[in-house]
Amino acid sequence: MLRRTLAMGVMLAAVLAIGCEQERQPPAPADEPPREAAAPAVEHATATAAIGEPAPDFVLEDWSGRRIGLTGHAGDIVVLEWINPDCPFVQRHYKEGTMARLAAKYADRGVAWLAINSTHYMGRGGNQRWAEQYELPYPILEDRRGMVGRLYQAKTTPHVFIIDREGVLVYAGAIDNDPAGVKPPDERVNFVDRALTEMAAGQPVTIPESKPYGCSVKYTE
Amino acid sequence: MDTVFRASFSLLIVLLVPIVGYGQSTQPDLVSAQLLGDVDAVAAGAEFRLAVLLKIKPGWHIYWKDSGDAGVPTSVRVTLPEGFRAETPRWPVPKTFTEAGGIVSYGYENEAPLVLTVHAPQRLVDGATRRFSAEVTWLACADRCVPGSAKVHLDLPVSGEPQPANAERVAAWEKHLPVLADAPNSPARAMVTSTHRQPANQNVQMSLNWNRPLRKVEFYPPVHPALKIDRDSVTIETNKRATRIRFEAGLIGDAKTLKETLDALVVWTDRKGLRHGLEIPVDFDLKRSP
């Protein structure tokens, strides 16, 4: 009995000693081999958007509670425009009427325009005020939890995505080539207008991608 | 008596001519700007440097020449007196900001000197004070973003023997600037090779052999409106004193070709934890398939 208890005690002590030994590692040497800093990892949702691939589906609500998603627009060309009323780039474009003008131009050609707001601190009230201030003919969908933004990897406001009638993503990028809003009219290229014109004529999109500009989307942590 | 008075007065004016130029910022509480020179006067045929020194409110940042995923690059436009010529601005070593949603951008906090090398003409037609001006525009962001700009100027007299000025500040701004890979004080020998799978795609490999120990290596891709480098394609491997960086480059937007040498930036952290920049030229040759 005593021998067994003693043996157990020794075994327990040994186990504890090993455990402790593993924790007490010698400190890393001062000039450890350099750690590679590859680009910080980007968090991906399981099925993110890619040009040439089917666009991920979603359902969001506008400020009146109406549920809107891609399935409800099957057969339409769909434009997704990431928005943040607090961003100076969005403010400039809305003062100039850039998006509203485009939405109106293509409205009767089967193009549905959806604005999406992934700003974590802004809810329906903010979206409604903005929609009413500019009398917008299209809905602003609330995505303050950032789910759809992350699905599409929306980076900036504005950031625009165009989905064709078969549900394939055919454009992702900036609204135009003029981040500062200073280019003369003959040098300014509106990539979205150009893509929609081509799609309406049954032609392929010649510029499927451009670098988006604007404030970063203010996602929730 | 009158001559003495006038001479003293002129001397006083000369002594008071500022060698630091101030200006107006649209958002002075967020970003202030100053124009500094590393000389107290200009001379015919001389080469000197000007720095646009930007001071940023704590908690805010502005952007590098490539802003990354979001934001807008800081830009500077200089106006020089007749006959003077400035080289492209040199950008201080940026840092990386990561925001929720995996948004990665590049820029500066606290202080950023944009440095220009200026060449005076071989002949200065008169001895009048010369004015150097710069206009800087930026986007300052914290939890929200505010665009801003500033106009700054610096007046420098003409002299046969310009003296160094702002020595301490010049030394400070030098610390922020990257060195060229083939410069005598370069910390590494660099070799760059490229292969093309298609005319519109280029795989670049950079091999660096370091001549000193370091802790960390970061990579900031070359910048050009027509160039797209997918961050996910960047790999950095370091083994002892050798680093290998690989990335894929392609065209973006409406550009049909890109045939240019652009600088990539490697940032290395020394054993004291200080970050330094190394500029490595990369030849790009991309052609969009018709």
DSSP letter string over chain A?
A: -HHHHHHHHHHHHHHHHHHHHHHSPPPPPTTPPPEE-PSPPPP--SS---TTSBPPP-EEEETT--EEESGGGTTSEEEEEE--TTSHHHHHHHHHTHHHHHHHHHGGGTEEEEEEE--TT--HHHHHHHHHHTT-SS-EEE-TT-HHHHHHT--EESEEEEE-TTSBEEEEE-SBS-TTS-S-TTT--BHHHHHHHHHHTTPPPS--B----BEEP----
Nearest CA in chain A to B225: A211
Report the Cα A47 to chain-centroid distance in Å: 13
pLDDT interval class at A32 (50, 70, 90): very low
Q: Each residue of A119-164: pLDDT tens digit?
A: 999 999 999 999 999 999 999 999 999 999 999 999 999 999 999 9
Inter-chain contact B98–A40, Cβ cutoff 8 Å? yes
Residue B268 burial (10 A CB sphere; 0-12, 13-18, 19+): buried
Q: What are the tokens at A126?
A: 């903010």
Mean of the per-residue pLDDT values of chain B: 91
Lowest mean pLDDT among B22-36, B205-219, B243-257: B22-36
CA distance A56 to A53: 9
Q: What is the model's pLDDT at position B140?
A: 96
Nearest CA in chain A to B210: A34
> Looking at per-residue confidence, does B14 or B63 come out higher?
B63
Give how far Cα B98 sits from Cα of A40, A42, A145, A171, B75, Å.
Answer: 8, 10, 18, 25, 22
pLDDT interval class at A2 (50, 70, 90): low
> Looking at per-residue confidence, does B235 or B225 come out higher?
B235
b/e B199-220 (16+ beta carbons within 10 angstroms → b)? ebebebebebebeeebbbbbbb
> Among B182, B171, B227, which Cα is nearest to B204's?
B227
pLDDT interval class at B175 (50, 70, 90): confident
Dihedral angle, C-alpha A135, A140, A142, A144, nearest 10 °: -90
Residue type, A109: R
pTM reported for the whole predicted model = 0.81
Length of chain B: 290
The residue behind tokens 């070359």 is: B222
Q: What is the model's pLDDT at position A33?
A: 43
Residue type, A105: K
Chain B residues whose beta carbon lies within 8 Å of the beta carbon of residue A216: 69-71, 99, 101, 103, 105, 141
Chain A residues whose beta carbon lies within 8 Å of the beta carbon of residue B145: 87-88, 215
In sequence order, what are the residues at sequence separation of 6 or more whose Cβ sits closer than 8 angstroms to the Cβ of residue B56? B30, B31, B62, B108, B109, B110, B111, B112, B140
Give how far Cα B282 sits from Cα of A18, A211, B202, B287, Å.
Answer: 53, 21, 11, 16
Inter-chain contact A39–B219, Cβ cutoff 8 Å? yes
Q: Each residue of A35-60: pLDDT tens digit?
A: 444 443 333 445 689 999 999 999 99
pLDDT interval class at B225 (50, 70, 90): confident
pLDDT interval class at A31 (50, 70, 90): very low
Give how far Cα A147 sits from Cα of A44, A86, A219, B160, B196, Å.
Answer: 11, 20, 9, 66, 37
Q: What is the greatest pairwise CA distance in chain A?
A: 97
> Looking at per-residue confidence, does B290 or A11 come out higher?
B290
For testing the chain A interface, which of B75, B99, B220, B233 should be mutated: the one with the most A CBs within 10 Å? B99
Paired residues of A77 in beta bridges: A111
**Inter-chain CB pairs, A–B, below 8 Å:** 121
The residue behind tokens 């002129």 is: B10
Q: Each residue of B87-140: pLDDT tens digit?
A: 999 999 999 999 999 999 999 999 999 999 999 999 998 999 999 999 999 999
Q: What is the model's pLDDT at position B93?
A: 97
Secondary structure (3-state) at B135: strand
pLDDT interval class at A173 (50, 70, 90): very high
Q: What is the model's pLDDT at position B21?
A: 66
Inter-chain contact A34–B215, Cβ cutoff 8 Å? yes
Inter-chain contact B235–A38, Cβ cutoff 8 Å? yes
CA distance A85 to B192: 45
Q: What is the model's pLDDT at position A7?
A: 53
pLDDT interval class at B20 (50, 70, 90): low
Q: What is the model's pLDDT at position B240?
A: 85
Alpha carbon of A155: minimum distance to chain B alpha carbons (Å): 6
Nearest CA in chain A to B266: A37
Q: What are the tokens at B174?
A: 């030098």
Inter-chain contact B252–A155, Cβ cutoff 8 Å? no
Q: What is the model's pLDDT at position B174?
A: 87
Dihedral angle, C-alpha A166, A172, A176, A181, nearest 10 °: 140
Who among A31, A179, A219 is closest to B101 (CB)?
A219
Q: What are the tokens at B54?
A: 């930007």
Q: Which DSSP state fits B38?
A: S
Lowest mean pLDDT among A19-23, B95-99, B151-155, B244-248: A19-23
Ramachandran class of A153: left when φ > 0, alpha when ψ lies in -120 to 50, beta otherwise: left
Q: Each residue of B235-274: pLDDT tens digit?
A: 999 998 999 999 999 999 888 999 999 999 999 999 999 9
Half-sphere exposure of residue A32: CA atoms within 13 angstroms, side-chain side: 8
